[in-house]
Structure 1
Amino acid sequence: MIQDAQPFETQRETSPPIKKTPVVPSEQSIQAALDLLRAVLKVVRDRSFYPQNHPQVLGGMDKLGTLLGNLFFERNERIFVFIDGQIYIDDLLSGDESDVSKIAQLFSNKKVEALSLRRGLPMSEFRLLVDHLASPEDCPPETAPFQALHIGLGTLMVRENGEKQIIPLFKKLGLKMPGQGENTTQFSDEIDLMREIYSDEETMKSSLLSNLGNVMHRLETRLFKQIHIVIPLVGLRLFEEYIYVHAINLCLLSMAQAEALGYSREVIRAVGMGALLHDIGETQTGLKKKRKEWKLSDVEVNQIKRHPAHGAALLLAFPEIPRVSALIVYEHHLKYDGTGYPEIMFKRSQHIASRLVAISDQFDAMRSSRPDQAALQPEQVLTVMEAEKGTGLDPHLFEQFRTLIKSRKIV
């Protein structure tokens, strides 16, 4: 029975480390990085008032040397990203102290939007960076004016035709700047795999596990590569691709939620599978093509309401697919207060995994353009969703989701 799935809360485990260094930098490590940036800001300001050999400037440079020695106690490389007045340090958004925006502006003024500092960085090299930041505002170079073995700079360059180009460091970091969202073309392989998964039932069954494993590997790689900075969602290019694009976005958003709540990779993957396959039951209703018209008769609406049960039954035939994934498929149209469909004899809230996916479902549906609705901005979507706290949506998980969305870039 689906209801007998192992409780989600009991599946917490310690995930194996992805890197040799901590996935999330320690508070002490972040503080050391912020102290260095604040000292850089002060030296640059002092140099605008005093000559380089002034005691005030020399004292500031000595302090920089000391702080630089404290920078790499936890990591061999420190990565800083400066976006919209905010600073990300090793994939983690820094605090909202008043000087953070000033530091970000200092680097942005010099077209430095990403900075990499590597262990072994001597003060002689770091001085070159300070010289660059302190150079006159009227002649900002297009690229870094110096070569440094232990320093990497990244910038967003704009060609004459308006096309944005990311220089190598950003490509290495896998970052996207605002307005450069992952588009449908970049996810074309995943969309093709989803098209096969959501094909007719008989065709789909023979290759479900291989296709599912392939697309999950691709999406997990994309998401966990930069999860503390952005959530890479797919843009909708063709309305006929909505069902595939929506499933991919649902998977990414739901895995990001589960990761933020501290669940293990195994559980996060199970949640992602359930989200990715949430509408798989539509392959058995015969209405998948009809849904492209976005208008259904009352009879067809009743028929489509059977797809959660159809989908769950289909997945239960595959022992390799986690039972909680099938449960998500069964419950994704239930509401927090027990209403919705499929109708259940005794009203109850969904499983916590299903509640996560239901939140992702609403968010992505409203932020996507469709023939029957215009897309809303994330802030507008969150405002609409807030009205459903306690009825349609789990109020506590919604607040967690709101925090997640506001602390990440949606690209």
Structure 2
Amino acid sequence: MNELNRQAVQAAVRNLVTAVSSSALYAPDHQQPSRLREKALASLQHALETVAEIALVVIDDELLVDGAPLDSGLYIERFVELLTGRGVGQLKFLRGIDAGELAAFARRLAPGGNGPLKATPHIRLGRVEVRFAGGAGNEATADATSFSADEVARFREVYEGVSKHRRLKATGIAEVVDAFIATLRRQAQPLLPLAPLRDMDEYTFTHSINVCTLNLAQAISLGIDGPLLRDIGIAGLLHDIGKLFVPTEVLTKPGYLDEDEWQVMRRHPHQGARCLIETPGIPPLAAIVAFEHHLKHDLSGYPAVPASWRQHPCSEMTAISDFFDALRTHRTYRDAMELKEIAGILLEKRGQEFHPLLTRNFLLLLSRTMS
């Protein structure tokens, strides 16, 4: 976005905030707030002449557009307060926005506004709230340590790009993982910032973020740092990318798959590995993990490999993360399991399905969360 457009966005925010504030003194349809909303709309429409959308993201009390913060000031600070007070981390204005949409948004944005904020055809909202499911029906919010809307949105773009075009772009993936690492380092309980993420109900997308988080927590606890830690996070984030090549009716089928459907599902490690190998900028470890994460420690899983096969430790780490998150997540065909129940299953299967030492380390991390 060029400087003139940034100034236009800044002016739009200033006039919108002033309109919201003045509505507390005047009726919503009074000339003063109406005039200010008109000025805000004119600024937005001017900026939208050269771009299709304006994406605003709140990160650490700053308002960013195109990844760069707008100039600080009372208006920006107040706008951030209004957005975060309504649980909004992302806001998009799309070309075609009209006066009615902006007026309705302004009325609901005001403190004590009439009803919740709602998306419209040309105003999109992103609510980002990270919750940890301590067990079925027992959820605690972790607002202060939530992954930023910006990083989650970046990965969503990657995810949707593969889903629509069957091609992966590496741009921004490393930065997403770096942000997740920074979040985990601030945690006293390393497994706290797990999804579900509000308004993001695609299981594969949300599960991928969780497996990345769990991989990073395991690796950090083992003293891994630097480029290898980042690669382990990327491998977790992309371990299931092959599922985006599985037909939707198979991937989302409630209940159990029949034999033909299961054979289709079992191909996703090959498809994911091939996709990652063919994508410049993706570390080789990610392709290895995509291929190996269903092998099991005793190689009784899939794909079939020679008896002499040696799995990468990151693949075995990912298998634990994958298994844990799958069981703690509510699915259409079963309820989420309690953490103690999952821990018992991991203990039972260590040495067979899961690496015994890595399982022990994971259970130690889990015990810190359960205590």
1:240 and 1:293 map into 2 onto residues whose CA distance is 15
The aligned residue for residue 267 of structure 1 is 228
CA distance change for structure 1 residues 348 and 294 in 2, over 3 Å: closer, same or farther?
farther
The aligned residue for residue 337 of structure 1 is 298
Structure 2 counterpart of 1:181, which letter?
A: T
CA distance change for structure 1 residues 206 and 325 in 2, over 3 Å: closer, same or farther?
closer
CA distance change for structure 1 residues 201 and 226 in 2, over 3 Å: closer, same or farther?
closer
Identify the match of residue 333 of structure 2 among 359, 368, 372. 372
Identify the match of residue 181 of structure 1 among 131, 138, 141. 141
Structure 1 counterpart of 2:348, which letter?
A: A
Cα displacement (A) at 1:253: 0.6
Determine if contact 1:335/1:350 at 8 Å carries over to the other structure.
no
Cα displacement (A) at 1:252: 0.4
CA distance change for structure 1 residues 201 and 236 in 2, over 3 Å: closer, same or farther?
closer
Deviations for 1:360-402, whole angstroms, at most 9, x for unmatched residues?
1111111111111111122221011111011100111111111
The higher relative CO (CA closer than 8 Å, separation ≥ 6) is in: 1
Identify the match of residue 253 of structure 2 among 283, 287, 293. 293
1:396 and 1:181 map into 2 onto residues whose CA distance is 31
1:200 and 1:294 map into 2 onto residues whose CA distance is 25
CA distance change for structure 1 residues 333 and 207 in 2, over 3 Å: closer, same or farther?
closer
The aligned residue for residue 13 of structure 1 is none
Question: RMSD between aligned alpha carbons?
Answer: 3.2
1:301 and 1:187 map into 2 onto residues whose CA distance is 36
The aligned residue for residue 309 of structure 1 is 270
Determine if contact 2:254/2:333 at 8 Å carries over to the other structure.
yes
Identify the match of residue 251 of structure 1 among 194, 209, 212. 212
1:342 and 1:228 map into 2 onto residues whose CA distance is 35
Cα displacement (A) at 1:214: 4.2
Structure 2 counterpart of 1:345, which letter?
A: P
Deviations for 1:60-83, whole angstroms, at most 9, x for unmatched residues?
xxxxxxxxxxxxxxxxxxxxxxxx
Deviations for 1:85-114, whole angstroms, at most 9, x for unmatched residues?
xxxxxxxxxxxxxxxxxxxxxxxxxxxxxx
CA distance change for structure 1 residues 384 and 207 in 2, over 3 Å: closer, same or farther?
closer
The aligned residue for residue 280 of structure 1 is 241
Over the matched positions of the two proteins, sequence identity in percent amounts to 31
Stretch of structure 1 that moved more, 297-306 or 237-246: 237-246
The aligned residue for residue 187 of structure 2 is 226
Name the count of aligned residue pairs: 235
SS of equivalent to 2:181: helix
2:276 and 2:340 map into 1 onto residues whose CA distance is 35
The aligned residue for residue 401 of structure 1 is 362
Deviations for 1:303-340, whole angstroms, at most 9, x for unmatched residues?
11111111111111234221112111110011000111
Deviations for 1:234-270, whole angstroms, at most 9, x for unmatched residues?
1265794211111111000111101111112211111
1:191 and 1:291 map into 2 onto residues whose CA distance is 22
2:355 and 2:184 map into 1 onto residues whose CA distance is 24
1:309 and 1:254 map into 2 onto residues whose CA distance is 21
Cα displacement (A) at 1:188: 5.4
Query: Is 2:286 the counterpart of 1:361?
Result: no
Structure 2 counterpart of 1:393, which letter?
A: F
2:168 and 2:274 map into 1 onto residues whose CA distance is 17
SS of equivalent to 2:337: coil
1:187 and 1:243 map into 2 onto residues whose CA distance is 19
Cα displacement (A) at 1:219: 1.7
CA distance change for structure 1 residues 399 and 217 in 2, over 3 Å: closer, same or farther?
same
Stretch of structure 1 that moved more, 364-373 or 287-296: 287-296
SS of equivalent to 1:180: strand
Cα displacement (A) at 1:203: 5.0
Deviations for 1:202-259, whole angstroms, at most 9, x for unmatched residues?
8557662124234323322322222566531112657942111111110001111011
SS of equivalent to 2:169: helix
CA distance change for structure 1 residues 207 and 314 in 2, over 3 Å: closer, same or farther?
closer
Q: Could you tell me the TM-score, scaled by structure 2's length? A: 0.56
Structure 2 counterpart of 1:270, which letter?
A: D
Cα displacement (A) at 1:193: 3.7
1:315 and 1:227 map into 2 onto residues whose CA distance is 33
CA distance change for structure 1 residues 356 and 230 in 2, over 3 Å: closer, same or farther?
closer
Residue ranges of structure 2 left out of the alignment (5+ in a row) = 1-131
SS of equivalent to 2:141: coil
Q: Could you tell me the TM-score, scaled by structure 1's length? A: 0.51
The aligned residue for residue 152 of structure 1 is none
